[in-house]
Structures are given as structure tokens and as C-alpha cells.
């Protein structure tokens, strides 16, 4: 049994782009977090850990709480970053993160030579899809493999069977790359911000329009309406909303075309099987997302893992709680190749029932009035059914009364930037509110 499995029967690993996000993840049930420095990880924006003091504080807090902190260092570097890497990393290694998450063979070799006792986890960026590759990396001293998202449950089970003495980690929730496990070039093509250097602008998520057109003798493209008879047999073109007039031909092979937006991964229905297989760590994607996102996902997947370990079936209520998060539609990715129609309807029905939207945070308690101050994030109203989300447990209330910041009765909290007071009990500071829809 691996060290991780000895500590956590199935580790729940959450993202942390900030100290607050880390604290939220741990409060809502995560066993470990992963975070990276902007220069050497693939998340430059919304990242507070370029500050070494902040990183030291975070690692110290995690360890004091009996939790783990993994430092992401999975950049695919050009020469300039290779030359500065060891000197910059030396200060980080002194802080004793529990492992480095790495992808580049050259950097891995440098780390193994310089700090042979530092555990290294192989990033999903390395695209490990078979047991022979897992064995190869184990020979080089890697202690955990983060498997490619493109694997099915059966393939993961086969890797576990063939490689019983190394830790395995898989993604269970979050954004999916439209390219092969992160190897995307769209952002670099459009605005010279390289995803493999950490500055991806999520070009696959932009707003594209499909047009029909043809190229004349001079090489100019003439656009025609897609529904017109003139469009029949013409090549299809893409136009991005912020780049009017820049028309890109859609090239398609026997597998289809790839400049499209992927749904988000939600694999909660497969948690039980992944634990049965013996996967050591279940990972949530989303270092650039909100504290509400990490609270909700950590809490929901914590429940799913605990239920699976105890032998209880999936609680369908958890599906609706994930549906309330901002998402582009959900998919279970490649885990299951063919779905039963009844199963799909079951998942969809439970996702749509009990759906809620994040509306605010509890920031202060007034004992005299018996009310809490809410920092509003989204609109909600008197009469709404509200869910209070707290590490100690969630509960529902019907909102019967609300006041503005001056104490006057209020019917509607208009939206982000406002503060209101509502009647709630003491001890809920830091709780989050969601409105059922």
C-alpha cells in the first residue's frame, strides 16, 4: 500500500490558486491541494503563489492541519527557464512541499539529481496512457503518475493491475481541454500566449460563428449565408467574435473537426469504481476558479468518496449540487465508452432537480438583531429558498425578510457589489449562500 493510501483510502485533491482557496478546500473536505508558482506551472493568472512568503505560509498551514501540499512545476520549458530553474526551485524545496508535479523529462532529471529525496508526481501533461509508460517512469524514481484524461475505467484498472506498487491519480471534475490533455496551440496561434507556458487564454471557449464561403481567383474569401442555396458545397469558415473579418477554414478529417468547446468533466458517478480499482488520488481541476467552486466540489466529492468507502450507493442529490456551478454542460469524458440510455436519463434528471446558484457570502454577525451581513454575488429575493453551505453541514431556509445596509426593508438583493442583512443564526461566518432555481 502506498503512503498516500495509508493516510487516505482515496485522497481528495483540490485546486488552490490562493491561500483562501486552500483554506476553503481543506474546510470542505479535501485531503490535499495542488498549487504552483506562475513562472513554472501552467497557471499564470489568478495565482498568489509567486510570493515565496505566501507559499511558505500555505505549506506550513497545510502540514499543521495534517494535510498535504503539492507544488505544481509542470511547465514545458524553453532554454531560458531551464537555466533559472534549479536556483529558483531551491528556495521552494526548502519549504518541504509533499511532492513536485512535473512533466518535462529534462527538469525531472535535474530535480532527481539535485534533490533525490524529493517526491515527484508525473503531470497529466506527460500523457501517460499505458502500463509500460508507468513502469518506465517508476524506474526513473517517479512516485505517482497522474494518468491521462483519455483513459477509460477499464484501462485504468488494467494499469493498476500491471503496476500495483506506484501511486495513481486521475481527474474527476473540471474543465476538459479540447486538445490532448492540455497540448493546445490555439491560444498561442491567436494572441501568442502559449498554453504550455502557463498563459492560456482559453481560446477554445471563445464565441465562434460558423459561416459558408468560397475563395475567388485572387485568394479573397467571399461569405454567403449558411442557409442559402449558394452555401451548398461551399467550405465552412469560423469567425471569432473579437476578430471580425478573420475567417478560418474548418478542416475536417474522418474523426471530425476540433475547434469546438468541450463540456466539463463530472465523474462523480464513477467514484465508487475508481476506489474499487485502487486509484490513490481523485483530483478536481480548477486553480483559477472561485472559492465557491472549490467549496462545492470538495464537499460533494468528499461525500461521494466517503459513501463509496462505506459501501453506500451514489446519493443522487449530489448531482444537483454540482449542476449549480458554472459549467458548459457535463460529460464523464472517456471513462465509459458507451452509456445506457436509462442511466443517462437518471443522471440528467437528478442534475436538473435541486439545482442552485451561488448568491453570496456571510461576512458578519449582529447578535443584537439576530442577523448576518451578506456580501451579494448574484441576485436573490425575499421568498427564495436558500441553501446555506458551511463546512459543518448545509441546511435550507426560506428567506422571509431582508434589509439593506442601513436597516431598511428590502425585497431584492440586486447583485454583485451590494451588502444586505438577513436573519440567520450565529456561527456561520464564512458560509456561502445558494438560491434554488
DSSP type of residue 287: T
- Does 205 have pLDDT greater than 90? no
Quote the CA–CA distance of 229 and 237 in Å, as a whole number.
16
Helix 131-139 × helix 153-162 angle, to 10°: 40
Lowest mean pLDDT among 123-132, 199-208, 307-316, 346-355: 346-355
Q: Is the dihedral of CA 327, 333, 339, 343 positive or negative?
A: negative
pLDDT recorded at residue 344: 53
User: E-strand spans in 63-119?
Assistant: 68-72, 99-102
Cell numbers that stand for 397 in this block = 431556509
- Residue 106 has phi, psi (to 5 degrees) of -65, -45
Other CB atoms within a 10 A radius of the CB of residue 90 amount to 11
Quote the CA–CA distance of 71 and 85 in Å, as a whole number.
14
Residue of 189 and 280 predicted with greater confidence: 280
Quote the CA–CA distance of 157 and 333 in Å, as a whole number.
16
Quote the CA–CA distance of 40 and 100 in Å, as a whole number.
11
Integer CA distances (angstroms), 349 to 133, 357, 399, in order: 40, 17, 26
Q: Is the dihedral of CA 374, 377, 383, 386 positive or negative?
A: negative
pLDDT-above-90 percentage for the chain: 63
Strand-strand pairing, 144-146 and 167-174: parallel
DSSP type of residue 396: E
Q: Is residue 98 left, alpha or beta, with left meaning phi > 0 and alpha meaning psi from -120 to 50? A: alpha
DSSP type of residue 95: T
- Does 239 have pLDDT greater than 90? no
> Could you tell me which of 31, 99, 42, 91 has the C-alpha nearest to residue 284?
31
Give the H/E segment covering residue 214.
strand 208-215
pLDDT recorded at residue 226: 52
- 253 pLDDT band (50/70/90 cuts)? low
- Give whichever of 50-54, 67-71, 204-208 has the largest mean pLDDT: 67-71
- Does 260 have pLDDT greater than 60? no
DSSP type of residue 328: S
> What is the edge-to-edge ordering of all strands in the sheet holding 356-366?
395-398, 385-389, 432-436, 356-366, 371-376, 419-423
Are 150 and 126 spatial neighbours (Cβ–Cβ below 8 Å)? Answer: no
pTM for the whole thing? 0.82
Distance from chain centroid for Cα 263: 12
Q: How many CA atoms lie less than 13 Å away from 231 in the CB half-sphere?
A: 11
Model confidence over 414-436: pLDDT tens digits? 988 899 999 999 999 999 999 99
Integer CA distances (angstroms), 429 to 247, 279, 392, 398, in order: 51, 36, 12, 19
- Does 361 have pLDDT greater than 60? yes
Quote the CA–CA distance of 302 and 12 in Å, as a whole number.
7
Model confidence over 1-34: pLDDT tens digits? 445 444 567 999 999 999 999 999 999 999 999 9
Q: State the chain's mean pLDDT as an integer.
A: 86
Distance from chain centroid for Cα 81: 26
Quote the CA–CA distance of 192 and 184 in Å, as a whole number.
12
- Does 259 have pLDDT greater than 60? no
Integer CA distances (angstroms), 369 to 303, 409, 425, in order: 35, 13, 10
Residue of 275 and 196 predicted with greater confidence: 275
- Does 215 have pLDDT greater than 60? no
pLDDT recorded at residue 243: 78
Quote the CA–CA distance of 109 and 123 in Å, as a whole number.
14
- Give whichever of 175-179, 235-239, 296-300 has the largest mean pLDDT: 296-300
Other CB atoms within a 10 A radius of the CB of residue 315 amount to 14
Distance from chain centroid for Cα 266: 10
Model confidence over 74-116: pLDDT tens digits? 998 999 999 999 999 999 999 999 999 999 999 999 999 999 9
pLDDT recorded at residue 258: 45
- In which residue are the cell numbers 474569401 written? 221
Amino acid at each position: 500500500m502506498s503512503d498516500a493510501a495509508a493516510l487516505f483510502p482515496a485522497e481528495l485533491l483540490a485546486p488552490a490558486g490562493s491561500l483562501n482557496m486552500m483554506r476553503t478546500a481543506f474546510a470542505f473536505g479535501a485531503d490535499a491541494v495542488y498549487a504552483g508558482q506562475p513562472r513554472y506551472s501552467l497557471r499564470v493568472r489568478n495565482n498568489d503563489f509567486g510570493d515565496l512568503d505566501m507559499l511558505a505560509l500555505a505549506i506550513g498551514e497545510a502540514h499543521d492541519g495534517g494535510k498535504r501540499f503539492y507544488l505544481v512545476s509542470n511547465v514545458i520549458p524553453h532554454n531560458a527557464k531551464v537555466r533559472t530553474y534549479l536556483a529558483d526551485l531551491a528556495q521552494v524545496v526548502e519549504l518541504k512541499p509533499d511532492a513536485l508535479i512535473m512533466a518535462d523529462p529534462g527538469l525531472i532529471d535535474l530535480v532527481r539529481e539535485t534533490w533525490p529525496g524529493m517526491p515527484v508526481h508525473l503531470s497529466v501533461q506527460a500523457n501517460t496512457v499505458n502500463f509500460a509508460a508507468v513502469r518506465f517512469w517508476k524506474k526513473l524514481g517517479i512516485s505517482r503518475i497522474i494518468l491521462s484524461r483519455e483513459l477509460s475505467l477499464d484501462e485504468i484498472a488494467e494499469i493498476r493491475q500491471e503496476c500495483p506498487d506506484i501511486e495513481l491519480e486521475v481527474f474527476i471534475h473540471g474543465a476538459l481541454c479540447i486538445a490532448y490533455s492540455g497540448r493546445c496551440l490555439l491560444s498561442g496561434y491567436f494572441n501568442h500566449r502559449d498554453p504550455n507556458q502557463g498563459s492560456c487564454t482559453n481560446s477554445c471557449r471563445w464565441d465562434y460563428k460558423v459561416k459558408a464561403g468560397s475563395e475567388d481567383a485572387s485568394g479573397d474569401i467571399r461569405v454567403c449565408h449558411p442557409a442559402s442555396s449558394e452555401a451548398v458545397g461551399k467550405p465552412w469558415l469560423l469567425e471569432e467574435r473579437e476578430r471580425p473579418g478573420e475567417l478560418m477554414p474548418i478542416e475536417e478529417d474522418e474523426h471530425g473537426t476540433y475547434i469546438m468547446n468541450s463540456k466539463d468533466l463530472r465523474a462523480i458517478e464513477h467514484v465508487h469504481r475508481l476506489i474499487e480499482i485502487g486509484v490513490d488520488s481523485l483530483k478536481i481541476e480548477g486553480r483559477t476558479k472561485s472559492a465557491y467552486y472549490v467549496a462545492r466540489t470538495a464537499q460533494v466529492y468528499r461525500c461521494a468518496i466517503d459513501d463509496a468507502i462505506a459501501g453506500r450507493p451514489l446519493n443522487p442529490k449530489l448531482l444537483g449540487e454540482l449542476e449549480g456551478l458554472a459549467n458548459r454542460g457535463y460529460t464523464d469524458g472517456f471513462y465509459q465508452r458507451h452509456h445506457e440510455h436509462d442511466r443517462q436519463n437518471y443522471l440528467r434528471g437528478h442534475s436538473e432537480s435541486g439545482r442552485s446558484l451561488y448568491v453570496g457570502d456571510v461576512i458578519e454577525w449582529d447578535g443584537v438583531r439576530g442577523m448576518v451581513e451578506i456580501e451579494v454575488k448574484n441576485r436573490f429575493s425575499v421568498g427564495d429558498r436558500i441553501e446555506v453551505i458551511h463546512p459543518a453541514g448545509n441546511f435550507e431556509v426560506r428567506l422571509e425578510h431582508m434589509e439593506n445596509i442601513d436597516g431598511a426593508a428590502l425585497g431584492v438583493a440586486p447583485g454583485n457589489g451590494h451588502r444586505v442583512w438577513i436573519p440567520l443564526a450565529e456561527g456561520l461566518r464564512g458560509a456561502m449562500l445558494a438560491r434554488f432555481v
